[in-house]
Amino acid sequence: MAAVAGFDPAPYCIPGEITHHEVMDMKRAFDMIDEDNSGVIDAEELQGAAVALGIAMEDNVKVLLGTDKISFDEFFKRMTAKLTPEDKVDDIMSIFELFDNDATGTISLENLQNVARIINAKETAQDIADMISTLDTDGDLELDPVDFYTCLVNGMRVRMEEEERNKREQADQLRDNLEQMSRGAGGSTRQSETRSIR
């Protein structure tokens, strides 16, 4: 944990998205997984952390890390990655497999609670149950691949629409500010010209 004491989270913070506290939580999680304090984690260390938490991840560790050792920078990128229109169905199904850590073909309440425990999520068991109930389309209280895909793609669409709306609002605000500055500067120039004529 000594690494956390000298760690500067500021470069990783994203206003309105990722807070100082969340970056520090990710760094603490990374350092806990990095058993040999090498500054990188590998599949063996991640598997050990999952076993210690009582979570059977088996092949899912390979999906998450492959054979690579990853630094905190890469860990942070993977933990905060967002779907884009370029992501393929196979990419989304790889994410599904990470959540389906018992390889049943569905994501259960227990699966989501395991993931929540790994990432130290703030959602309660009831919040997670409500989420499954909302997203589940066949009433079995589990998410199948279609439920999961629909959730992620719709979430991406909503996020992208919100980002586009924010960009438009910022552009409109900038345009309005420039117009006000232009009118204000024009008025000052005319007043100066009037004074110099007198």
Average pLDDT over residues 147-153: 83
Residues whose CB falls within 8 Å of the CB of residue 97, separated by 6 or more in sequence, listed in order: 59, 60, 63, 103
42, with CB counted inside 10 A (0-12, 13-18, 19+), is buried
Strand-pair partners of 71: 40
Distance CA 153, CA 41 (A): 30
pTM: 0.48
So what's the pLDDT on residue 4? 66
Distance CA 113, CA 99 (A): 10
Average pLDDT over residues 123-142: 89
Torsion of CA 67, 72, 73, 74, to 10 degrees: 20
pLDDT band for 107, please (50, 70, 90 cuts): very high
Is the confidence at residue 93, as pLDDT, over 70?
yes
pLDDT band for 173, please (50, 70, 90 cuts): very high
